[in-house]
Amino acid sequence: MSNNQLTESGYLRHFLTIEGLKRPLLTEIMDRAEQFSSISNQQVKKVPLLRGKTIVNLFFENSTRTRTTFELAAKRLSADVINLNISTSATSKGESLLDTLHNLEAMHSDMFIVRHNQSGAAEFIAQHVAPHVSVINAGDGCHAHPTQAMLDMFTIRRHKPHFPDLCVAIIGDILHSRVARSQIQALAILGVGEIRVIGPKTLLPIDTQSLGVHVYHDMESGLDGVDVVITLRLQHERMQGALLPSSNEYFARYGLTDDTLKLAKPDAIVMHPGPINRGVEIASSVADGAQSVILEQVTHGIAIRMAVMSMALGTQAEQHEAHS
């Protein structure tokens, strides 16, 4: 799939998955986000890079935070933004998804930001769009969430810039988490020293170890000596059957509390892709504590999405200049 994301010259056309991408491209995304991150502090929070471009938010699944950061990112790049309410759009009247896409293309749209509850939806759309249209995956089913993974990598780099020295632990519902899959792929590509996943067997994929991670079923050994702690939301809406006895029991065994955080390194940072279930995956005292960078992740999401959009829609000349 990743080959479809790049032009023949190796530039970014779509951003559908982290899988198969190379370290220099991920580094370039973060470097460009670094340039954009200061815009938030300016009086006029805009640059003219995508002036005249039209970006369509196609959210078939709700996510206020992700949609808002994509919208803000597009507007800061001076693009025109359309938010399509899918529940009231033509697709709910029986018009096919492809008909809707082609109508949007006929209105000279340049980019679709796609969020869908079906894995592979963004890739399907990317295969059927006109050659001039770029597609960004804003989360598809249990498959991928590449911009979330990149804002997480950017946040880690801000605090712990030397990836090979790091031990990163991801706690919780790996089985249903598109974020965890994308994070693991990004961490591996960037050369992180050790990637751990911690959780009950019922919430880990059967092939977890094939992802190149070390698997732990208890917090005591799993968090020992960790530099970065990432907790995941329990995705009850994707669970079929009783995979957990109760939220209370889950918190007792796998919740990140002040005590369990002490198992990690004293300067470990705490992350969560959101939205947070306080008292289920993480205690409020930790989520709001000195080691938490959760709100930074949200802020960095704007810069990362600006970077990805500008790279996908930028001219090849601009991208060549960025490489040189």
Q: What is the three-class DSSP state of 53?
A: coil
Q: What percent of the chain clears pLDDT 70, i.e. is strictly above it?
A: 90
Which tokens hold the place of 312?
């996908």
pLDDT at 261 over 80: yes
pLDDT: which is higher, 94 or 141: 141
203 has pLDDT over 60 = yes
Has residue 32 got a pLDDT over 50?
yes
CB 53 within 8 A of CB 79: yes
For residue 303, pLDDT over 90 is answered with yes
Task: Give the residue with greater pLDDT, 134 vs 243.
Answer: 134
Residue 319 pLDDT exceeds 80: no
Q: Are 58 and 114 in contact (CB under 8 A)?
A: yes
Residue 320 pLDDT level (bands cut at 50, 70, 90): very low
Comparing 24-28, 44-48, 61-65, 119-123, which segment has the lowest mean pLDDT?
61-65
Mean pLDDT of the chain: 89
Confidence of residue 294 (pLDDT cuts 50, 70, 90): very high
For residue 2, name the pLDDT band (cuts at 50, 70, 90): very low
202: left (phi over 0), alpha (psi -120 to 50) or beta: alpha
pLDDT tens digit string along 238-255?
444 455 667 888 899 999
Across the beta sheet with 80-85, the strand order is: 80-85, 54-59, 111-116, 134-140
Handedness of CA 206, 209, 212, 217 (dihedral sign): positive
Euclidean distance between CA atoms 276 and 232, whole angstroms: 8
pLDDT of residue 297: 96
Buried b (16+ CB within 10 A) or exposed e, 39-50: beeeeeeebebb
Q: How many CA atoms lie within 13 A of 123 on its CB side?
A: 18
Give pLDDT, residue 95.
Answer: 65
Full set of structural domains in the chain with CATH: 2-145+299-318 (3.40.50.1370), 146-296 (3.40.50.1370)
What is the spatial distance between Cα 101 and Cα 292, in angstroms, rounded to a whole number? 40
